[in-house]
Amino acid sequence: MSSSSEYMVGPTIGQGSFAHVLYAVHKTSGRPVAIKVVEQFSFRKHPWLLQTIMTEKEILQSSDSNSNEKKVSRPSWVVSLWAAFYDAQHLYLVMELCSGGDLEGLLSQAGILQEEEEEEEEEDSDEKSDGHRSFSSVQRERWIQHSVPFYASQIVNALQYLHSKIRILHCDLKPSNCLLHAETGQLRLCDFGSAIEMDRQSTTKTTTAAAAAADSSSDSSNRNRTWIPRGTTEYSCPEIIRATSPLALNEGVDYWSVGCLLYAMIHAGKSPFCHDSEALTVQAIKEHCQGRIGSHQQLKPSDKQTRNFQEWLGLSIGLLREDPEDRIQFWEENVFRHDLLQWDPAAVDRGDVILPRPHWKDEVKNAVLKDGNEGWTAFVQL
């Protein structure tokens, strides 16, 4: 069984509500990895959290075994899980290191992650005070023409693989759950804690921390608790937000999130329903479904928008339909086969694409690694 002693441990490269992700290097192979660390105390305080970690572990293992058994010749659209272990203080998931960070970081790096009013005020400025570039109209058009289709087409292909090959609904698609490789810009989906299996989706498994780090082969008889997936509200579809009891879900759940993602990629780096509070976010989604759009949102084509922008906006709006069956129909007829979303890696000129450079790259390069022989203390960031 794997243990912390097999790794040299570096700085934090990711942070969530209940976990942090550390850069590390496997001592024997020299392979850089990302280690997701969750405190055991969190499981006692939030009993549902263990279920999300177990779900993520099972799905990552299922994806890897599916690829190996069927010898699928394809890019790996799901981040690889290489080991899992635990001690008295923490649970650890050792995963593939995606050297480019995530899509949220790329949007910030590219300059699109900014307030709408700031964009208008500083459109002619080359540099913002916080170090992020402000888009000129030319820069924005280049981003939309080259980088958006490069990354959006990968999201579409990754989701198609998830639904058709391993039969999983992600239920929490958002920019920070789209990891990237720095050299190629290739995308991996991560964070499957809210995911459900399409073929047996209304139940989950109750387990222990020890079981979560052990072999996860199990049958449906162990799945005995009802489950409503809860992702990030601003990217969640109406049927999940309204749910008060277990319900049957379909691919439309993720298609709504893709609609929000496409919008974020062309406009301010955020979901069209992003607000300062969850209550306001839910209200914005409700108003959208009722046909009432807030005046500050740009979910309407305008003469000021370029043709490329309008085309991407049209795809986004088409997926933000209240009825999930309407989303599925729009996806099949207008998205999956759309010319903008036909991804051929060999045909892409990466000279025109903005490739990711995460904020932690230099920190990792200059870091003094701690020996995992120290146990859990090596994973504590002071």
- In this predicted model, what pLDDT tens digit does every residue of 76-107 receive, in sequence order? 899 999 999 999 889 999 999 999 999 999 99
- Alpha-carbon distance 186 to 216, whole Å? 28
Kindly state the average pLDDT of the residues 41-65: 80
Minimal CA–CA distance to 89: which of 35, 22, 54, 40? 40
**What confidence score (pLDDT) does residue 128 get?**
45
128 is in an annotated binding site: no
**What confidence score (pLDDT) does residue 187 get?**
96
**What confidence score (pLDDT) does residue 85 get?**
92
Residue 23 has pLDDT above 60, yes or no: yes
Strand 90-96 to 32-39 pairing: antiparallel
Which pLDDT band holds residue 378 (cuts at 50, 70, 90)? Answer: confident
Residue 60 has pLDDT above 90, yes or no: no
**What confidence score (pLDDT) does residue 127 get?**
46
203: CB partners within 8 A, 6+ apart: 220, 223, 224, 225, 226, 227
**What confidence score (pLDDT) does residue 245 get?**
66
pLDDT tens figures, 160-201 = 999 999 899 999 999 999 999 999 999 999 999 889 888 865
Q: What percent of the chain has pLDDT over 90?
A: 50
Structure tokens at 86: 């635990």
Q: What percent of the chain has pLDDT over 70?
A: 77
Query: What b/e readout covers 111-134, taking b as 16+ CB neighbours within 10 angstroms?
Result: bbbbeeebbeebeeeeeeeeebbb
Residue 382 has pLDDT above 60, yes or no: no
Residue 242 has pLDDT above 60, yes or no: yes
Q: Provide the Cα torsion 89, 92, 97, 102; round to 10°.
A: -70
**What confidence score (pLDDT) does residue 17 get?**
80
Which pLDDT band holds residue 133 (cuts at 50, 70, 90)? Answer: very low
Kindly state the average pLDDT of the residues 25-48: 90
**What confidence score (pLDDT) does residue 65 get?**
59
**What confidence score (pLDDT) does residue 227 get?**
55
Half-sphere exposure of residue 118: CA atoms within 13 angstroms, side-chain side: 17
pLDDT tens figures, 259-279 = 999 999 998 789 999 999 999
Q: Which residue is it, tokens 């649970």?
A: 91
**What confidence score (pLDDT) does residue 246 get?**
64
The pTM score is 0.84
Which pLDDT band holds residue 141 (cuts at 50, 70, 90)? Answer: confident
Q: What is the mean pLDDT of the chain?
A: 81
**What confidence score (pLDDT) does residue 208 get?**
42
Minimal CA–CA distance to 87: which of 372, 366, 381, 337? 372
112: CB partners within 8 A, 6+ apart: 135, 140, 143, 265, 266, 267, 268, 269
Residue 122 has pLDDT above 70, yes or no: no
Minimal CA–CA distance to 254: which of 241, 268, 236, 230? 236
Domains recognised in the chain with CATH numbers: 4-98+360-379 (3.30.200.20), 103-204+229-352 (1.10.510.10)
Kindly state the average pLDDT of the residues 222-231: 52
**What confidence score (pLDDT) does residue 2 get?**
85
Between 95 and 52, the higher pLDDT residue:
95
**What confidence score (pLDDT) does residue 66 get?**
59
pLDDT tens figures, 296-341 = 455 666 666 788 888 999 999 999 999 999 999 999 999 988 888 8
**What confidence score (pLDDT) does residue 350 get?**
76
Which pLDDT band holds residue 211 (cuts at 50, 70, 90)? Answer: very low
**What confidence score (pLDDT) does residue 176 get?**
95
Kindly state the average pLDDT of the residues 37-42: 86
